[in-house]
Chain A
Amino acid sequence: MSIEIKNLSFVYGAKSAYEKRALEDVSFTIKDGETLGIIGTTGSGKSTLIQHLNALIRVTNGSIVIDDIDLSQKRINLQLLRSKIGMLFQYPEYQLFEDTVEADVAFGPKNFGYKKEDIDYMVRQAIELVGLDYYEVKDKSPFELSGGQKRRVAIAGIIASRPSILVLDEPTAGLDPIGKREILDLVKRLKDSFVKTIIMISHNMDEIAEYCDHVIVLHEGKLIYDTTPEELFSDKEKLVGTGLSLPHTVNIARLLSEKGVEINESCLDVDSLVNAIEKAVPNE
């Protein structure tokens, strides 16, 4: 499923004292199978952009076409759209409400009208996909789980309805380093399942560099870069004025090359950095 966004603009509270321009003439395409990273400082329009994708905010200016669904149309099949595009909000654990984990995960599939037997299977598969023990957690209250587990249950609740596009708004916010890694590895693992395309908002450049193959940068509602992480992070000048920084690995490589170590690769994750250093400084 590809997503085509053309000339998208959006204004909050139009014609009132609180009027705020959130998106301005944003156009880009997300191809099938991509992992797209969206970066930008707070208030750059990232959340507004992704809320457009499953019609939580309706298109007022411009157009979005997801496969054969035109979101600028007045009448669209919301249920179908929302079952195709899973959306994980910030701190998704705050949306849990059912008595048991099983019932909470089943909320989505039930709303989308799946049959009882199918739902049971989907719920079980989703819980196992996020790395929880189905029999151990299914009858527990979601409120008695730990923070990391709650987030997993919330993710299970999204993927239970088998979306082919998964949108994640800062999936690692508020987690400890180990929890972060676990969630990111989970996201990576999901790409081997029914989830084909992943769209991820993150403030963490390391995450973007390591996990994404396409990245867009928003700044004050405008799209300023639509490129690959290698391209974006190859030139320090590009991020000047956007309030964003380079990933740590890229930064280390830069500092080393300033000191005369010859590193030419882009080094978007720790392994490639280590390899590049080993190549540049042969072990004596």
Chain B
Amino acid sequence: MSRDITLGQYYPVESFAHKLDPRVKLLLVIVYIVGVFLVDSLYAYIVVGAFLITSIIVSRIPFKSVLKSVKGIIFIVIFTAILNLLFHKEGEVLWSFWIIVITKEGVLFSIKMALRLLLLVLGTTLLTYTTTPMSLTDGMESLLSPLKLVKFPVHDVSIIMSIALRFIPILMEEVDKIMMAQKARGASFDNGNLFKRAKALLPVLIPLFVSAFRRADELALALDARCYNATPNRTRYKKLTLSWRDLVATIAFAVYIVLIVAVNNNFWGLY
């Protein structure tokens, strides 16, 4: 069951995208997100889609696995699309019944919104697929380090983040184990209405919390025992370095941004 949740899961293959510096990847993904929100012509969305597909090919991750990440949000996508369809009242009326009015602009708008959400999730999934949680937090820490000047505890925040990320798979495994143990005692988790199902989860949640607290305790002890944070300037085992790949990726991205802005504005009427 928990194996279906893909968000924040690393896909271990060797590729150009996997070898990029996490800082560069983080920044590029932020630029990508801004890009997705900026464009609003359908042609520009095609360019974004083509760019995304190219990125997936470059990262050598099977399309099927990337598409899995959409599964979790498909409901939200459909829901927002329907809402947009119903509440967009201006423009050419295509069909109307009672208080429901569907306009041509409404259809276009809801398609765009759905595309936006899909492209957003697919793009960010690519980041977590190609970057281990550890290097992701390392990259984040490095990017946030200017905040140290205003006494923001960057290192502490990043260690909290990396511990949290690290514990997601452990806790999932734990959920699997506890569920199996309770199933063996006759518990069933997929029968009955919503309320019943929620109640059926108690035998899983209570042991899960107990064990999470126990693990947290043990981890804190282990950190203490190794004098964690006793020295102000920790050195790193893995230093982040930029390479030619990062340059290539950045240039490709710059070209892409120029392209979508141009397409979005119909090449400013040049053609």
Residues of A within 8 A of B (CB): 13, 16-17, 51, 54, 56, 78-79, 82-83, 86-87, 89, 92, 94-97, 107-108, 110-112, 143, 157-158, 161
Contact = CB atoms under 8 A, between A and B. Distances in A.
Interface of B: 3, 11-13, 65, 177-178, 180-188, 202-203, 206-207, 210-211
Contacts of A54: 184
Contacts of B181: 87, 89, 92, 94-95
Nearest to B200: A111
Nearest to A93: B207
Given A89-B177, A107-B187, 12 more contacts: A17-B11, A54-B184, A78-B188, A87-B181, A89-B184, A94-B178, A95-B181, A95-B185, A95-B207, A107-B185, A111-B187, A143-B210
A56 B185 contact: no
Nearest to A99: B206
A56 B187 contact: no
A158 B178 contact: no
Contacts of B178: 94-95
Contacts of A83: 186
A86 B202 contact: no
B185 to A, nearest CB: 4
A107 B206 CA distance: 14
Contacts of A111: 185-188
Contacts of B207: 94-97
B185 A97 contact: no
B186 A56 contact: no
Nearest to B177: A89
Nearest to B174: A94
**Residue of B183, B185, B202, B203 contacting most chain A CB atoms (<10 Å):** B185
Contacts of B211: 94
| Nearest 5 CB-CB pairings of A with B | A111-B186, A97-B206, A95-B181, A108-B185, A87-B184
Contact of B202 (A96, A97, A143): A97
A89 B203 contact: no
B180 A13 contact: no
A157 B187 CA distance: 13
Contacts of A13: 3
B203 A157 contact: no
A56 B188 CA distance: 11
Contacts of B203: 95, 97, 107
B177 A161 contact: no
B109 to A, nearest CB: 37
30 contacts: A13-B3, A17-B13, A17-B65, A51-B180, A56-B180, A56-B184, A82-B185, A83-B186, A87-B184, A92-B181, A94-B178, A94-B210, A95-B178, A95-B181, A95-B185, A96-B207, A97-B202, A97-B206, A107-B182, A107-B185, A107-B187, A108-B185, A108-B186, A111-B186, A111-B188, A143-B210, A157-B185, A158-B184, A161-B185, A161-B186
Contacts of B65: 16-17
Nearest to B205: A97
A199 to B, nearest CB: 13
A56 B3 CA distance: 15
B180 A82 contact: no
Contacts of A86: 184
